Amino acid sequence: AQKITQTQPGMFVQEKEAVTLDCTYDTSDPSYGLFWYKQPSSGEMIFLIYQGSYDQQNATEGRYSLNFQKARKSANLVISASQLGDSAMYFCAMREAAGGTSYGKLTFGQGTILTVHP
């Protein structure tokens, strides 16, 4: 079973509009973290936002917010006021606290290509 699922291969949004990128996850670990990364055409991985499983509030970082619905196991990324520079691939990822050990590794989704139109 897929641990991280991004069902939208591609999304289009008009400049200055908001857009939501979907992400659902699957884990039996009570302690985990959810990440969103942006990968522009130049290829680097840019960290956007992090949500811990025990965090009471949804994470926000500037124009990025994470709509965390724990019961539904979803962690959608909301980008407000889209800009042309937001056009990129976006990856959702999860880090689990594996079985008592305190380290983790990220499991990535397949990504969503976002295109912002002027």
Partner 1 sequence: NAGVMQNPRHLVRRRGQEARLRCSPMKGHSHVYWYRQLPEEGLKFMVYLQKENIIDESGMPKERFSAEFPKEGPSILRIQQVVRGDSAAYFCASSRGTGTTGELFFGEGSRLTVL
Q: List contacts with partner 1 (CB under 8 A).
A: 4, 31-33, 35, 37, 43-47, 50, 52-53, 91, 93, 95-97, 102-111
Q: Which is nearer to partner 1, 19 or 48 (CB)?
A: 48
Bridge partners (DSSP) listed for residue 28: none
φ/ψ region of 84 (left if φ > 0, alpha if ψ in -120 to 50, else beta) reads alpha
Rounded to a whole number of angstroms, the minimum distance from the CB of residue 107 to partner 1 is: 7
CB of 109: closest distance to partner 1 in angstroms? Answer: 6
Closer by beta carbon to partner 1, 78 or else 97: 97
Q: Of 68 and 91, which has the nearer Cβ to partner 1?
A: 91
* CA neighbor of 116 nearest in space, from 6, 11, 9: 11
CB atoms within 10 A of CB 3: 15
CB of 14 to partner 1, least distance (A): 26
Give 64's strand partners.
Answer: 61, 79
d(CA 76, CA 15): 20
Nearer to partner 1, 100 or 118 (CB): 100
